[in-house]
Homo-oligomer: A and B are copies of this chain.
Amino acid sequence: MIPDLDTLLQARERIRRQVHTTPVLTCRALNHISGAELYFKCENFQKVGAFKFRGASNAILSLDENQARAGVATHSSGNHAAAVALAARLRGIPAHIVMPETAPEIKKRAVQGYGAQITFCEPTIAAREQTLERILTETGATLVHPYNDHAVIAGQATAALELLEQLPQAPDFVLSPIGGGGLISGTALVVHYLAPNTKAVGSEPRLADDAARSFRSGEIQPPMPPKTIADGLLTCLGDKTFAIIREYVHDILTVSEKAIVTAMRMTWERMKIIIEPSSAVPLAAVLEHPDFFRGSRTAIILTGGNADLDNLPWLAADRLPDNST
């Protein structure tokens, strides 16, 4: 059953003691460039550097004592892995993370640093799922899915709950990226319940526009080949997130790789904050769809700040795929 308002408010109380209340920043220069009044919810300052810590915290703090004792498990090589690892450590329970052996060293170290048990596997989806299945069977751990889980969705919704309290008035739009759809689902539910004149809008790289095509076709579309630099947005929707997105999301906009790089650099330069490529997708949408946003009050959820400081996309413009614009 789709989480109701009480469920979202309970999630907020449940995780309040362990998540950061992240600031909302504004930037006159970006308002001027975009012709809109922009508010940036800085989940790049969240623990583990990403909003994912909210969903993982809610899922893990929702377990009863018996479930908790057996620990949690997931597969991820990204922010969700770190989020589950830290949330499990804070509850004092085991976390089992399945990662492809090809995952970047820095991500492996982050997860290990939080005390999680990593199981490496071949870098294929089949290998990841089989390995995870085996671990779940062997350990009795509870799966914490990165998005297709109502407790995770309710946790991600807490970013929008905070946001609405922090803004002087409800915005016209709340804009977030879409990967598996956990964040936009939670966000759309919050504005549906609490700010009915606010529209939740998703944004996606054109090179990974499965959610936009799912939204228009009414059927979940498979993921695309991993070509976008917004590597956090490659996964396809799940049945739980899609059910919410179909009903409560106003629209899904797509953007070019070039616009993502421009928006990322603009955020670094003008706001002096670090965001990862996936987090730049909403601002890219504002820049590429100016008629949609002009004159509006638009809140953007900056989803994470775990950028690779050794590989900045504007220093590697030749590596963008040919069909990127």
Contacts and interface: CB of A to CB of B under 8 A. Distances in A.
Interface stretch (A123-131, A227-235, A268-276): A268-276
Number of copies of this chain that the complex holds: 2
Given A23-B23, A274-B274, A269 B314 contact: no
Interface residues of A, number: 17
A309 B272 CA distance: 11
B305 A265 contact: no
A314 B273 CA distance: 18
A269 B48 CA distance: 11
- Most chain B beta-carbon contacts within 10 A, residue among A272, A310, A312, A314: A272
Contact of A273 (B269, B273, B309, B310): B273
A22 to B, nearest CB: 10
A310 B305 contact: no
A277 interface: no
A33 interface: no
B272 A45 contact: yes
A273 B307 CA distance: 11
A44 interface: yes
Nearest to A23: B23
Contacts of A312: 309, 312
A1 interface: no
A227 to B, nearest CB: 24
Interface in A289-318: 305, 309-310, 312, 314-315
B309 A269 contact: yes
Contacts of A272: 44-45, 49, 273-275, 305
A312 B45 CA distance: 22
A23 B314 CA distance: 29
Interface string A256-295: 0000000001001100111100000000000000000000
22 contacts: A23-B23, A44-B272, A45-B272, A49-B272, A265-B309, A268-B274, A268-B309, A269-B274, A269-B309, A272-B273, A272-B274, A272-B275, A272-B305, A273-B273, A273-B274, A274-B274, A309-B312, A309-B314, A310-B314, A310-B315, A312-B312, A315-B315
